Structure 1
């Protein structure tokens, strides 16, 4: 399995926003959506504010592959289920990284529904 380089982790982890486009069943990319991204250790995560019913989240389930852009990095990725044991830690990273926003805004990604729609981004070779 491919891993992120240190440079990619730093650039994407420091980016405020990430563009994510998932693959349709025919192999074409959907229109990219913009979202927050966080780094925890050597992994990168995104969450759906609308939980598992969010349109872009449902799109990631079609083929579990797509493309991201953030911090000057363009990368094909696999969408993996995040380890639910990391929910509290990922919440803390979101709160720290996006602390300049109100609790109400950050609360959109640190709630039970968003936690259930946490995706680990895995680079593809």
Structure 2
């Protein structure tokens, strides 16, 4: 389900996204983890700083759903692995939003690129 433009803009402008994929039971939310997020082509993307070993990433890939909180909102969401063809544009969005951070290089590394997740609203 597409994001309302006003919500997506608010998320894009903030640095407070927290993600909680479902646990193995498919109904209990995991612990909220703070992560960086970017918006490209009216879609929301996140990456795992620690690569594929990241617990939240593994749960998101397995469960494909959960919850996020950002910009004062809590939303039920679906997770989908992003197409690799967008990696360069997502890298550019990270460079723009997080310019000057010492964590930027790891977030645009091959290790993190392999964990790019698109977050969509759940109906």
Q: TM-score, normalised by structure 1?
A: 0.93
- Whether the aligned pair in 1 keeps the contact of 2:2 and 2:121 (CA below 8 Å) is yes
Aligned to 1:110: 108
Measured in 2, the distance between the counterparts of 1:17 and 1:29 equals 18
Q: CA deviation at 1:25?
A: 2.3
**Match of residue 9 from structure 1:** 8
Instruction: Name the counterpart of 1:39.
Output: 39
5+ long unaligned stretches in structure 1:
none
Structure 1 runs, 4 residues or longer, greater than 3 Å off = none
- 2:28 corresponds in structure 1 to 28
Check if 1:82 corresponds to 2:82. yes
How many residue pairs match? The answer is 122
Deviation at 1:41, TM superposition (A): 1.7
Instruction: Give the corresponding residue for 1:18.
Output: 17
In structure 2, stretches of 5+ residues that fail to align are: none
| Residue in structure 2 matched with residue 120 of structure 1 by the alignment | 118
Task: Note the aligned Cα RMSD (angstroms).
Answer: 1.0
Q: Normalized against structure 2, the TM-score is what?
A: 0.95
